Amino acid sequence: MFTGKMSLNIPEKLKKYCILAEDDTIIDLFKCPVPGCNFATRLGPGAVRMHVLIKADPMSKTRYSSDHEEYWKEYESELSMDNVRVLANIPHRLTSYRKP
């Protein structure tokens, strides 16, 4: 039966970076997949990549997280710019800006 909904073609390995809207027709938020981290954003998948990268840097004493460093070491190829582009090209909710 056709429901009129468009299915999202998110590669299986990249689904963990996405929170879908209730109707599953759009990515509502991009999220950090590191267990225990609650970072989520509408700024796009590049913001999640930068979040993980910054938190994985042991030179950044105030932001460093060993969990993020371990995640980066294991999944660096998954967070490549090519994969960021793949996610960015999937329909997602954008941030809204209001003039002050």
pLDDT digits (tens, 9 = 90+) for 44-77: 999 999 999 999 999 988 999 999 999 999 999 9
Spatial separation of the C-alpha atoms in residues 73 and 78, rounded to whole Å: 10
**How confident is the model at residue 61, as a pLDDT?**
86
Q: Is residue 97 part of a domain?
A: no
Pairing of strands 27-31, 40-41: antiparallel
Average pLDDT, the chain: 90
Give the CA angle between residues 29, 34, 36 to the nearest 5°.
Answer: 95
Count of structural domains, the chain: 1
pLDDT for res 98: 63
Q: Is residue 69 part of a domain?
A: yes
Q: Which residues span the domain enclosing 63?
A: 13-88
Give the three-state DSSP class for 41: strand
| Model confidence band, residue 36 (pLDDT cutoffs 50, 70, 90) | very high
Encoded amino acid at 30, one letter: F
What pLDDT score does 94 carry?
A: 85
